[in-house]
Structure 1
């Protein structure tokens, strides 16, 4: 059941269009991965498996990279939004059809790295 949930969330994240849809899908995927790790913690043999340990390490590293990419994206959106709302850039932005962009917001529990406990 948890595997199906993660697989479904991953497919939705890949198919999402737009920042809000992408953020919502990423939140669901992160929640699913956290549940998967929580379920796996109840199985000592699985926790000791080299492949599972490598997966946990990879998930932690990937989550850190994703958090960095989100921050970079949001920094660029902030710069763009400030630029197109400032004079005289506002005039050029309105002529070019530039609009403020949305930030990539995530739910509070998804902000930190995936917790890995042994």
Structure 2
């Protein structure tokens, strides 16, 4: 991961767009809230493992954080509650991970159909 500014900017946009607080994300990632604050300011980096967990939560792939030309294709699951608990975020991340895998499989099947 090279462009830390792109990564932190996109992360903050996803977090704010989902109405999640830094504290909620920090608890979900099992890190201190101040680390999220510093990350969003570009003062700290997150490990690939944590970024993958973030990708699961928001339904995107790592390429979204690496490539400024990559578009975010949101999942149809919405964050509608202002009182989401960590367990809720874990469930959303698990569902999004499955949905991302289905999206990937469908794109592979579409490519196979184009080649035939």
TM-score (norm 1): 0.34
Larger Rg, first or second structure (1 or 2) = 1
TM-score (norm 2): 0.34
Between the two structures, name the one with larger relative contact order (CA 8 Å, sep ≥ 6): 1
More helix by share: 1
